[in-house]
């Protein structure tokens, strides 16, 4: 009996060893410490800094035959050393040394000094000086006191503080009643690995026919849907099969949702509502150049020959050496990367062509929040109502731009300097680019009719300056452009590209769906539904037109009827100007048949003929939310209830969704602030504009979307005495190089 028991014992040991070896070789369960370093896109300044995006699968080292865009990036973009950077302007971002100093100061003081390793930095950025200090500063003068703004978590509590870098003083600030700070990249990374430590999750994935080594997961913010979700940071994780494609988004393990405690990494619950739904095919989903075109000598080009705009004399814009001030063709502005907003444009001034005076246009402009609700109320989808700036960090998700493809030749690149969760600094290279754009557009023109007898043909080319960043927020890519024109106009454009978030279905053709069943979207391919969703991008625009004290004017256009016998005409359009006295007067919902213009004027400055100087917001294509205002996502995203809001300037009111967006209830939003109905006439005011998209997916969006764009303009209205580019020169043949194709010149 004893020998038999001993043999059985040896057999069990041997079986366990074999099982362990089998598990390690086939399943490839991740080792968090090692894999985290592989996943994170870090440099020498921090061992843990940032991820590619929300996707947290193991990445392999690219081979020498990897995509052309990657090689272009490495060969065309210079690597800049930021170790000796110093601030040159009051609004310059914190340097590597300043971030390290702020971290050291905070960790050395109570309560944080009791356990420094327990401090998690969610935000560590410049606390900007007050506007009056910035306005009064001139180049060569000492900088205002440099302070850091910190949002941190320590032993389960959230803190908002400022750190005086000179004195070392900490100032504690109030925090919102609900919600949590923006997730760190480490939060996202660790959350996507955590379900693989749960046996029930692994069994469920294997039962769906997916190898654990092929699993790719996304951390999905849960929103807020009641008290049961309060008191701890929760996150939902959904997964995909990456077998056979880089585009795993097209292969969802539909209906499988893990609810996770983000702090403890405990799996709270697993919902499996997708049994019977197959994993969509991988064929035809890859979008990479080598997968689409193949590695032949003459890949298809759609009949297009290469095109490039050359500047043999170099670009016309200047960027201050080692700094952030940009000057070009009568414009001057400060430009910097930001971990939450993406890119911030500040101190925008235009040179008056008549007087040469630099005149204020805007103190600060940036993306304040993005709201992306999906229109599927089912168990695995109802919570997908992202706020990409406040939950994920719009700038944290910005990837290095690709030279010659994201930005043309002669572009200038700016890096972002951010803090990791441990407070150590790192550099996000090539996050912003600046370049001049000429697309054959016309700045102004006039040709005189032959009947006048005057042979006049005058035209001027339109050259503009672009400041661009792009964020890859998991599947979606956002392109943000600030375009400065020589006529004083600023065009702000948002482009959407990337990959749809899709839903698995058991059906492969439209005729297989039950009649009258709501599928919440469009069938795009076999077993794949593109779910309907919206995008709202809310901009914070602190316009200071010729000074800080401005007014908001709604110029209403309406039909006016003529009196009988007064004119052969029976009607005409009349413009009526209404100055908004309080915030509620300036809450605007766009109406096609009740058109208006929206002016920000300086009533104390007028042109020579008496018009108040100003700028106007000119909306282009946009969309409005159709959700119930009491729907929990819309309550949190109530800043999209109007397309325009105007509030008095308040340095604490920057983020339309609130300081703490993650799991917030919506008590600290632009809509709540504006309910106070504060006075805004002849005040320092901020205009908020929301640009929107309704997206009903179509097959042309599969497997990757062509870019779709929308924009709005900030246009001068009586700001100048006349056309500011009247004296702009035309192009002459002698001034332009003649480029000859290499094949033709051989």
- Provide the annotated active-site residues: 388, 476
- Residue 410 tokens read as 């002669």
- Could you tell me which residues are beta bridge partners of residue 694? 534
DSSP at 102: H
Scanning 29-95, the segments in alpha helix (DSSP H) are 32-39, 68-76
Gyration radius of the chain's alpha carbons: 28
- Return the exposure string of 490-528: e unless at least 16 CB atoms fall within 10 Å of the residue's CB, then b: bbbbbbbbbbbbbbbbebeeeeeeeeeeebbbbbbbebb
Q: SS3 for 583?
A: helix
Cα separation, 694 vs 241, in Å, equals: 28
CB atoms within 10 A of CB 167: 10
CB 391 within 8 A of CB 574: no
Q: How open is the CA angle 669-673-678, to the nearest 5 degrees?
A: 160
Answer for the pair 87, 143: CB distance below 8 angstroms, yes or no: yes
Helix, strand, or coil (residue 611): coil
What CA–CA distances, in Å, run from 479 to 55, 119, 343, 492? 19, 33, 11, 11
Written as six digits, the tokens of 348 are: 């925008």
Structure tokens at 120: 């998690």
Q: How many helices (H) and strands (E) does the chain have?
A: 11, 32
Query: Residue 125 is encoded by which pair of tokens?
Result: 């950025």
DSSP string, 644-675: EEEEE--TT---TT-S--BT--SSSSHHHHHT
Compute how many other C-beta atoms are within 10 angstroms of the C-beta atom of residue 157. Answer: 9
> Which among 369, 434, 420 is positioned nearest to 125, based on CA atoms?
420
Alpha helices in 527-654 (DSSP H): 632-636
Residue 60 to residue 48: CA distance in whole angstroms: 18
């Amino acid at each position: 009996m004893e020998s038999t028991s001993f043999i059985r014992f040896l057999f069990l040991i041997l079986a366990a060893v074999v099982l362990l070896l089998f598990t390690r070789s086939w399943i490839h369960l991740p080792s968090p410490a090692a894999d985290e370093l592989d996943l994170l896109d870090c440099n020498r300044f921090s061992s843990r800094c940032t991820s590619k995006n929300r996707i947290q699968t193991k990445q392999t080292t690219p081979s020498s035959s990897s995509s052309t865009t990657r090689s272009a990036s490495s060969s065309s973009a210079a690597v800049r050393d930021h170790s000796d950077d110093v601030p040159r302007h009051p609004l310059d971002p914190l340097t590597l040394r300043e971030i390290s100093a702020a971290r050291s100061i905070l960790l050395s003081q109570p309560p944080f000094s009791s356990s420094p390793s327990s401090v998690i930095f969610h935000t560590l950025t410049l606390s900007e000086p007050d506007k009056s200090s910035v306005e009064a500063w001139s180049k060569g003068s000492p900088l205002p006191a440099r302070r850091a703004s910190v949002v941190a978590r320590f032993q389960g509590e959230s803190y908002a503080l400022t750190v005086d870098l000179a004195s070392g003083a900490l100032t504690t600030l109030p925090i919102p009643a609900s919600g949590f700070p923006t997730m760190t990249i480490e939060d996202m990374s660790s959350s996507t690995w955590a379900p693989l430590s749960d046996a029930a999750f692994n069994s469920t994935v294997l039962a769906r026919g997916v190898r654990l080594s092929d699993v790719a997961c996304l951390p999905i913010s849960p929103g807020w849907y009641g008290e049961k979700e309060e008191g701890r940071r929760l996150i939902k994780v959904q997964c995909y099969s990456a077998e056979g494609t880089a585009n795993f988004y097209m292969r969802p393990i539909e209906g499988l949702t893990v609810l996770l405690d983000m702090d403890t990494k405990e799996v709270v619950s697993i919902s499996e509502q997708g049994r019977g739904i197959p994993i969509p095919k991988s064929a035809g989903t890859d979008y990479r150049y080598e997968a689409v075109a193949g590695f032949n000598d003459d890949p298809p080009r759609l009949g297009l020959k290469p095109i490039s705009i050359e500047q043999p004399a170099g670009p016309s814009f200047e960027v201050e050496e080692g700094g952030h001030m940009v000057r070009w063709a009568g414009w001057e502005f400060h430009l910097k990367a930001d971990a939450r907003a993406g890119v911030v444009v500040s101190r925008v001034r235009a040179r008056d062509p008549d007087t040469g005076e630099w005149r204020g246009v805007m103190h600060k402009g940036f993306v304040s929040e993005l709201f992306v609700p999906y229109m599927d109320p089912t168990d695995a989808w109802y919570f997908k109502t992202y706020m990409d700036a406040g939950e994920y960090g719009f700038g944290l998700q910005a990837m290095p731009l690709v030279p010659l493809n994201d930005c043309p030749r002669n572009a200038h690149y700016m890096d972002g300097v951010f803090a990791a969760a441990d407070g150590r600094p790192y550099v996000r290279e090539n996050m912003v680019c600046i370049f001049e754009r000429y697309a054959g557009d016309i700045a102004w023109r006039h040709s005189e009719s032959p009947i006048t007898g005057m042979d006049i043909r005058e035209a001027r080319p339109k050259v503009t300056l672009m400041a661009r960043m792009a964020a890859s927020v998991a599947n979606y890519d956002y392109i943000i452009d600030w375009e400065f024109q020589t006529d004083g106009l600023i065009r702000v454009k948002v482009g959407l590209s990337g990959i749809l978030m899709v839903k698995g279905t058991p059906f492969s053709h439209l005729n297989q769906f039950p009649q009258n069943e709501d599928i919440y979207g469009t069938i795009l391919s076999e077993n794949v539904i593109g779910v309907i969703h919206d995008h709202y991008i809310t901009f914070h625009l602190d316009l200071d037109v010729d000074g800080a004290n401005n007014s908001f004017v709604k110029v209403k256009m309406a039909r006016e009827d003529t009196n009988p016998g007064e004119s052969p005409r029976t009607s005409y359009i009349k413009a009526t100007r209404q100055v908004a006295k309080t915030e509620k007067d300036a809450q605007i919902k766009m109406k096609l048949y009740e058109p208006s213009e929206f002016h920000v004027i300086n009533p104390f400055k007028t042109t020579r003929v008496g018009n108040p100087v100003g700028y106007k917001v000119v909306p282009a294509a946009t969309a409005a939310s159709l959700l119930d205002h009491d729907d929990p996502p819309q309550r949190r995203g109530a800043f999209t209830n109007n397309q325009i809001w105007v509030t008095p300037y308040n340095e604490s009111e920057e983020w339309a969704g609130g300081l703490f967006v993650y799991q917030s209830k919506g008590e600290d939003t632009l809509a709540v602030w504006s309910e106070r109905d504060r006075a805004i006439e002849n005040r320092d005011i901020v205009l908020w504009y929301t640009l929107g998209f309704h997206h009903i997916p179509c097959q042309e969006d599969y497997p990757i979307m062509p870019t779709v764009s929308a924009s709005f303009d900030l246009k001068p209205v009586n700001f100048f005495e006349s056309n500011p580019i009247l004296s702009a020169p035309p192009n002459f043949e002698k001034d332009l190089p003649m480029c000859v194709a290499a094949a033709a010149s051989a």
